[in-house]
Amino acid sequence: MPKRSLRAGKPASPREEEVLTKLEELARVIYSQLESGEPPFFEIPVRTLANTIWDKKRKLLVLGPKTARREFFDVGESKRFMQTILMLSLIVRARRENDYPTIRDLYYTGKHTIYYVNEHGKKVSEETWEDQRESNAVIQDIEVATGLLREHMGIMHDAKGRIVGNMIIRSKGSEIDLSRMGSGAWGIPSDVDRIEILRVKANYVLVVEKGAIFERLNEEEFWRKNNCILVTGKGQPDRSTRRMVRRLWEEFDLPVYILTDADSYGYYIYSVYRSGSISLSYESERLATPEARFLGVSTSDIERYKIPRNYIIKATERDIKRAKELMNYPWFKESKRWMEELELFIERGEKIEIEALSGHGFKFLSSIYIPGKINKGEWII
């Protein structure tokens, strides 16, 4: 499939007015229901595990076709209905006034106590929402209902990703050369879609799980010597790091390699970059990179790279349990190589970290391991 489109590099975010229009449209549906005397309701795609589908062809976790009516006149749903209207009004207000609230700001701003007299004539009170899980869930509802990412709606989060390499982007009118960040890096912002990617000169994207390894490879200028883009999501990646990686793959056709520790936690990080996560399956099409390749470190590397016995860490019961769960995920199941790797992990009950490769010298990772695996095609998919 030809991925590189005419839109390559262009901001992928809808324009401010479009965002506002989409949000207002959602409200307008309710408004016209009220005007015509209909009982008001939303039609919202269901975000449950049961409605999460593994799309084998596109290699993505996606939301199924099931939708639900959220009706105001249904006692079990009216609270959620009202929460949705409340959140929608907060987000519309923020967009109209050019504000950039965080998800926690939205939680606080919408949080208030409603006093009312119940059916027994008793005065009672209720909170609009008890905790942030409730308000976040409503934001997600609005995302699926409008097809907008919350980042498009100007909602901020603690973005932790870093990127560096031969590429030039434009953001808020500034042209930024990511090969001129010195010892530092460009901190990836919340909304990656408003960035214009002007030029990329690289052969591949290397995503490293660990921030400290990123610092080291950056200090060595690995990305310059190997002509690649270097990214870290610092552990489990946030949405913006995943979106950045996806855009580089989708719009610039770059192969993406993931480097993590050899344990079920690292393997799952690869899985999130590649296939998406269950809780955000409705965003996989924008966040996942279905052709991402797992470079290592893998359990089979223990033998192949002669990792000393005392570098090996015993896997915990939790690790093993998690690995067994991974074996049930269809995107691992479909891969013979992954099933072998996970079986080996469970059988040996052993894990290793990326840093264990330092036993062969500090330069082993950057001079031998990474380029060697890429050149010989020794990744796992």
| Cβ 356 vs Cβ 277: under 8 Å | no
Q: Which residues contact 205 (CB under 8 A, 6 or more apart)?
A: 228, 229, 231, 245, 248, 249, 254, 255, 256, 257
Q: What angle do CA 38, 114, 95 make, to 5 degrees?
A: 70
Give the C-alpha separation, 282 to 279, whole Å.
Answer: 8
Q: Name the residue among 126, 115, 144, 129 with its Cα closest to residue 52.
A: 144
Binding site for a copy of itself (CB under 8 A): 94, 97, 99-109, 111-113, 127, 154, 156-160, 162, 169-176, 180-191, 194-195, 210-216, 218-220, 234, 308, 310-311, 353, 355-356, 358-359, 362-363
Q: How far is the CB of 171 from a copy of itself (least distance, A)?
A: 2
The residue (of 10 and 170) whose beta carbon lies closer to a copy of itself is 170
Retrieve residue 163's tokens. 């990127």
Q: How far is the CB of 151 from a copy of itself (least distance, A)?
A: 10
Q: How far is the CB of 94 from a copy of itself (least distance, A)?
A: 6
Q: How far is the CB of 11 from a copy of itself (least distance, A)?
A: 11
Active site residue 116: no
Per DSSP, 125 falls in state: E
The residue (of 342 and 357) whose beta carbon lies closer to a copy of itself is 357
Rg of the chain, C-alpha, whole Å: 23
The residue (of 25 and 196) whose beta carbon lies closer to a copy of itself is 196
Q: Is the peptide bond before 164 cis (omega within 30 degrees of 0)?
A: no
The residue (of 67 and 358) whose beta carbon lies closer to a copy of itself is 358
The residue (of 119 and 219) whose beta carbon lies closer to a copy of itself is 219
Q: How far is the CB of 4 from a copy of itself (least distance, A)?
A: 24
Give the C-alpha separation, 262 to 152, whole Å.
Answer: 35
Q: How far is the CB of 332 from a copy of itself (least distance, A)?
A: 28
Q: How far is the CB of 219 from a copy of itself (least distance, A)?
A: 4
Give the C-alpha separation, 206 to 208, whole Å.
Answer: 6
The residue (of 168 and 278) whose beta carbon lies closer to a copy of itself is 168
The residue (of 154 and 290) whose beta carbon lies closer to a copy of itself is 154
Please tell me which residue in 31, 107, 108, 329 is annotated as part of the active site. 108
* DSSP code per residue over 231-270: EE--SS--HHHHHHHHHHHHHH---EEEE--BSHHHHHHH
Residue carrying the six token digits 């924008």: 286
| Cβ 332 vs Cβ 339: under 8 Å | yes
Tell me, what amino acid is at 18?
E
CA distances from 96 to 14, 17, 142, 154 (A): 15, 9, 17, 11
| Cβ 302 vs Cβ 312: under 8 Å | yes
Strand (E) or helix (H) holding 127: strand 123-127
Strand (E) or helix (H) holding 330: helix 330-333
**Per-residue b or e along 358-381, where b marks 16 or more CB atoms closer than 10 Å to that residue's CB:** eebeeeebbbebbeebbeeebbbe
The residue (of 195 and 295) whose beta carbon lies closer to a copy of itself is 195
Q: How far is the CB of 92 from a copy of itself (least distance, A)?
A: 12
Report, as residue numbers or ranges, the catalytic residues. 108
